[in-house]
Structures are given as structure tokens and as C-alpha cells.
Amino acid sequence: MIESIKIGVSGQGLHEITEQVNHVISCSNVKEGLCTVFIQHTSASLIIQENADPSAQRDLENWLNRLVCENDPIYTHTFEGADDMPAHIKSAITATSIAIPVMQNKMALGIWQGLYLWEHRKHSGQRTIIIYLSD
């Protein structure tokens, strides 16, 4: 089974999508199997991360922004703004797809784990996520 979902983002940061993906799984016939999640964009990524303490998410975002700075003079891809090329770099060094086991009709995430869309651009908008389920 393959399904596409749209996720609205309010700007740069981690946006939890665990519930939306688990909803797709719960509506399927897959009780046990594999869920592959893929983001169809080059300036956002996917990550499994702690979902209990939001400070972990802020720290990750701050660390990545320090690692990949805006307005670096080596960038030539700047037409869409100062955050455009850094967003592509951030996407390249993180993940655009994640495979997660399915158990009991939901993702087999740990107790403190959540699945996140990591938006690297500052603008708001929609991102498309493809969910592939196999049993």
C-alpha cells in the first residue's frame, strides 16, 4: 500500500508527524511489516527523535543552524533567499526517507521516540510525504 499525505509547516523546525503516519497505518491491513516514509522535497528531511522534551528539538535545530550557516560567501544558489542553500545542505546531511517496523498496526517506535518532518526553510507551506507499507 502506498499513500501520500500533506503536512502543513509553520516554518523552520521539527514538526511531529507520528500521529498522521500511524493513522495511515491503522487504516491499512498491515498489522506487522515495514513502513517506509519519504519526503518529496530537497529542503526538508525526516528524523526520529525524542518527543518528550521540546528542548531536545530546539537544541538540534540550533546545532544544525550553527553547523550550516546562512549567508556563507561560498554559496551561489541564493535566488530563493539566504535560507535556501543551507536548507539543501541540511537535507543532504540528514535523511529524506526512513524505514520503521510496524507492530500491532502502528510504527514500532520507542516510548520517547517520535517521527518528525524537519523543515529547513523559514517559510510556511505544505510538504508531501509518501508512506509505503509492506507486510
In this prediction, residue 84 has a pLDDT band, given cuts at 50, 70 and 90, of: very high
Predicted local distance difference test score (pLDDT) of residue 108: 98
DSSP, residue by residue, 6-57: EEEE-SSEEEE-HHHHHHHHHTSS-SSEEEEEEE--SSEEEEEEE-S-HHHH
In this prediction, residue 35 has a pLDDT band, given cuts at 50, 70 and 90, of: very high
The vertex-54 CA angle with 50 and 60, nearest 5°, equals 70
pLDDT tens-digit profile of 51-62? 999 999 999 999
The C-alpha cell that represents 114 in the structure block: 517520535
Predicted local distance difference test score (pLDDT) of residue 91: 97
Predicted local distance difference test score (pLDDT) of residue 122: 96
In this prediction, residue 34 has a pLDDT band, given cuts at 50, 70 and 90, of: very high
Q: What domains does the chain contain, in order, with CATH numbers?
A: 2-134 (2.60.120.460)
Q: Enter the pTM of the model.
A: 0.95
Predicted local distance difference test score (pLDDT) of residue 20: 98
- Alpha-carbon distance 135 to 33, whole Å? 4
